[in-house]
Structure 1
Amino acid sequence: MFPLIIRGRNSPGELHKWRNFIASLTFLQNPSSFSSASAAADLTRRKGNTFTLSYLVESLGFTTKLAESILRKVTAEKTNSNPDSVLSLLRSHGFTDSHLSAIIRTYPRLLSLDAESSLAPKLRFLTSRGASTYELTEVLSKVPKILGIKKDKALSRYYDFVREMTVADNKSSEFEKLCRSLPEGSAQGNKLRNFLVLRDMGVPQRLLLPLLISNHHACCGKEKFEETLKKVVEMGFEPATYRFLEALRMLYLLSDKTIQEKLCFYQKLGFSEGEVWEMFKKNPSFLPLSEKNVLNSIEAYLGLGFSRDEFAVLVKCHPQCLNYSSELVKKKAEFLVKNMNWPVKALVSNPTVLGYNLEKRTIPRCNVIKALMSRGLLGSELPSIGSVLVCTDHAFLKRYVIKHDDDKELVANLMAIFTGDHVS
């Protein structure tokens, strides 16, 4: 096995409920804490983009951290934009908080555009073509990147396409009329025609629409698109899943010769051709990886104490492991094995933990476990890595935090650790 080596990885709504629960507990115990937090928030809002920050947080439900991150990116664009003006313009055209939340989450760069010189003319143009307030808000909240298109002709074409998919009757002949109006063989014409093919195969809007204003080359081809689509279907990918489109993109980008070279490389590592394709079905994006990156990844895993057989099991079960950077894998594995004392075999049995965000998910949960163990509330044995990391936020809180609701102070402390508000 591995002769070549021998030679040389929750619901926000649910979490919000628990945070509200603990907030009420904390308020009952220390009402003054809220006045200090409010003062800190007020101080932050006075630093610039006053209305925008408070609006993102209070009206759209963004966390302060996310709102500040978005505004930093907006200011980094170095334009003369005014986010407040952008929001005011959109609201004047009937966009609700729900629409704006969806737009900004999907396309935060919109706030960096100039309201008067860039956005207003496009909205006037679309309205002049007969777009109602309902249609305008529904279409643009689905694919806000349309507003980044500069030319009216392209803007009109993509807008019509999205409108037909989201607002009009999906069986309307307008789809076909729209496609026939495009030049034969053009990249844009091919993209729209291919989108119709994918839609008719069952690819859902939530997966199709984000591709519309993207550089997804597979959707711009014709003959090769058809050939690649046939391969993906024959391999058994389900059109309703993201992996279907990912497989389509990967096979489209790789030539037959390159694919054969990839198969030979993995066979030298000890994997059969059938195993490689099974790995591809689980994670299509691993196939284009360079040989150098794969060998570096293997070296990193072996250096962390994984045996060659354990690495083979890890990759066949969760090929995404090959996509993770060696530096991050080392950091995560060392924390889980050395800091938390879970054995390497626990990672092999639960490989998805290597893909979880260390700071946002792994460390907060592990710190909760440490706090419970220090109080003797979990017994002498460390809980399984799956019960701590693989479950949802709701399940974790119910299992390790809310069960102690007879001790309000303990629950408050555990929630502070879990949400990152704990000060050690």
Structure 2
Amino acid sequence: MVQYLVSNCGLKPAAAAKAAPLFANLDSTSRPDAVLAFLRSQGLTRRQVRRIVSRKPELLLRDVDATLEPKFRAIRALGLGRADAARLFALYPPALTFGVQTKLLPRVLFWLDYLGSAKLLIKWLAKTWLLQYGVDIFFRNLSTLRSIGIPESRILATSEAKLQKLLDRVEGLRVPPSSGMFMWVLYTLHNVSESAFRAKKAAVMSAAGCTEEEFAAMCRRAPCFMFAPAELLRQKVEFLLGKAECDARYIVNNPVLLTFSLSKRMVPRHRVIETLRSRGVDIGTKANLRGIMRSTEAMFVDRYIVRYQEQVPELHELYPPRQVNGKEELAVKAR
């Protein structure tokens, strides 16, 4: 069965080994074969099937006609196309375990009505598990957030107890509900556990030598840096302080720097800038670190590689161009 899950479903060996005991009583693979054939007949790609089976391997034991086909039929009846119905279940596999009348249709209908279109439903499903909670929980959360002035359109789906804890954590960072960053901070903390937050906070404060208030200010300015692992955050701060020769105040005021890839963006771009300066190239007074790192790939290559490639030919080796729309950025710019 492990081999079957790896070969037929695309699971990794470790995941397959974990799921295999569920199928201990199978005499043959006829039922899993039927489920896989049905999912593919509904337009799901191999990747989407793998996502579903990885999340809910027990679905391979379901009766297609009795449990799976009615769910796809119900979603299609709401006006979703074949591809959207397939993507809905791929984005949220537990929906295939819902009762059609008790959970699936009420939740999907609610969000279709609330968001206004199937396109927006699929868009938001790709960002958060809208179907995880019942409609009643949404309305209770809506009441809570209304009471502190949060617009309905910026609601976050979660349990009541978790929502209140999240609000307390956001309040601890001194983010007022009126702030445009409020929901970004709320969303970030929703995805970063308290223990992980403490570890990342300790890593940044220790490396940068900043205070708790300064760290809170960083979170208010660019909360998404907290998605990076604690050790990686420490390495980024040390790179900025050491190689890039920033002071701690610059990092505190520009926490967006901690959201960029260290190996793919910060290190190679810094290497290019240092090479240009060492060769006496005047790159202008506007070449500040924040602007350099925030530039798009196309802008950076055009401004610092193509412009100076005749003066400093080795730039192409120092900063190999990324693939953009199937073409090498540098080659396109050079032409």
**TM-score, normalisation: structure 1:** 0.52
Aligned partner letter, 1:344? A
- Select which of 122, 125, 147 maps to 1:205: 122
Q: Paired residue for 1:254? A: 162
Residues of 2 paired with 1:351 and 1:142: CA distance?
35
Q: Paired residue for 2:88? A: none
Deviation at 1:335, TM superposition (A): 0.4
Deviation at 1:331, TM superposition (A): 1.0
CA distances 1:62-117 after superposition (whole Å, capped 9, x unpaired): xxxxxxxxxxxxxxx9524675xx6xxxxxxxxxxxxxxxxxxxx9649999xx86
Residues of 2 paired with 1:393 and 1:108: CA distance?
34
Aligned partner letter, 2:81? V
Give the 3 Å change call, closer, same or farther, for CA 237–398 of structure 1 in structure 2: farther
Residues of 2 paired with 1:225 and 1:339: CA distance?
48
Deviation at 1:333, TM superposition (A): 0.5
Give the 3 Å change call, closer, same or farther, for CA 187–299 of structure 1 in structure 2: farther
Deviation at 1:196, TM superposition (A): 2.1
1:328 aligns with 2:232: yes
- Select which of 191, 198, 203 maps to 1:300: 203
1:193 aligns with 2:106: yes
Give the 3 Å change call, closer, same or farther, for CA 209–334 of structure 1 in structure 2: closer
Residues of 2 paired with 1:302 and 1:169: CA distance?
47
Give the 3 Å change call, closer, same or farther, for CA 162–232 of structure 1 in structure 2: farther
Give runs of aligned pairs for residues 338-357 of structure 1, distance below 5 A.
338-357=242-261
Give the 3 Å change call, closer, same or farther, for CA 391–163 of structure 1 in structure 2: farther
Deviation at 1:395, TM superposition (A): 1.7
CA contact (8 A) 1:279 1:316 kept: yes
Give runs of aligned pairs for residues 7-86 of structure 1, distance below 5 A.
79-80=3-4
Give unmatched runs, 5+ long, in structure 2: 17-28, 85-95, 324-335
CA contact (8 A) 1:280 1:287 kept: no
Identity of paired residues, percent?
19
Q: Paired residue for 1:416? A: 320
Give the 3 Å change call, closer, same or farther, for CA 392–380 of structure 1 in structure 2: closer
Residues of 2 paired with 1:364 and 1:312: CA distance?
29
CA distances 1:227-263 after superposition (whole Å, capped 9, x unpaired): 2245567622646xxxx5xx213x545164x457547
CA distances 1:109-130 after superposition (whole Å, capped 9, x unpaired): 49999xx867752364469xxx
CA distances 1:312-363 after superposition (whole Å, capped 9, x unpaired): 3212212334554432221110101111112223323331221222222222
Residues of 2 paired with 1:326 and 1:366: CA distance?
22
Moved more, 377-386 or 394-403: 377-386
Residues of 2 paired with 1:200 and 1:360: CA distance?
42
Q: Paired residue for 1:228? A: 141
Q: CA RMSD in A?
A: 4.6
CA contact (8 A) 1:401 1:414 kept: no
Give runs of aligned pairs for residues 157-168 of structure 1, distance below 5 A.
157-161=70-74, 163-164=76-77, 166-167=80-81
Deviation at 1:160, TM superposition (A): 3.0
1:400 aligns with 2:304: yes
Give the 3 Å change call, closer, same or farther, for CA 204–274 of structure 1 in structure 2: closer
Residues of 2 paired with 1:191 and 1:293: CA distance?
33
Residues of 1 paired with 2:12 and 2:67: CA distance?
18
CA contact (8 A) 1:191 1:221 kept: no
Residues of 1 paired with 2:47 and 2:144: CA distance?
30
Give the 3 Å change call, closer, same or farther, for CA 414–291 of structure 1 in structure 2: closer
Aligned residues: 283
Q: Paired residue for 1:54? A: none
CA contact (8 A) 2:260 2:266 kept: yes
Deviation at 1:418, TM superposition (A): 7.1
Aligned partner letter, 2:123? R
Residues of 2 paired with 1:365 and 1:402: CA distance?
14
SS at match of 2:264: helix
Give the 3 Å change call, closer, same or farther, for CA 126–397 of structure 1 in structure 2: closer
Aligned partner letter, 1:206? K
SS at match of 1:401: helix
CA contact (8 A) 1:365 1:418 kept: no
Aligned partner letter, 2:157? L
Give the 3 Å change call, closer, same or farther, for CA 210–309 of structure 1 in structure 2: closer
CA contact (8 A) 1:224 1:252 kept: yes
Q: Paired residue for 2:185? A: 283
CA contact (8 A) 2:241 2:248 kept: yes
Q: Paired residue for 1:73? A: none
CA contact (8 A) 1:324 1:355 kept: yes
Deviation at 1:272, TM superposition (A): 6.6
Higher relative contact order structure (alpha carbons within 8 Å, sequence separation ≥ 6): 1
Aligned partner letter, 1:79? Q
SS at match of 1:330: helix
Residues of 2 paired with 1:220 and 1:187: CA distance?
15
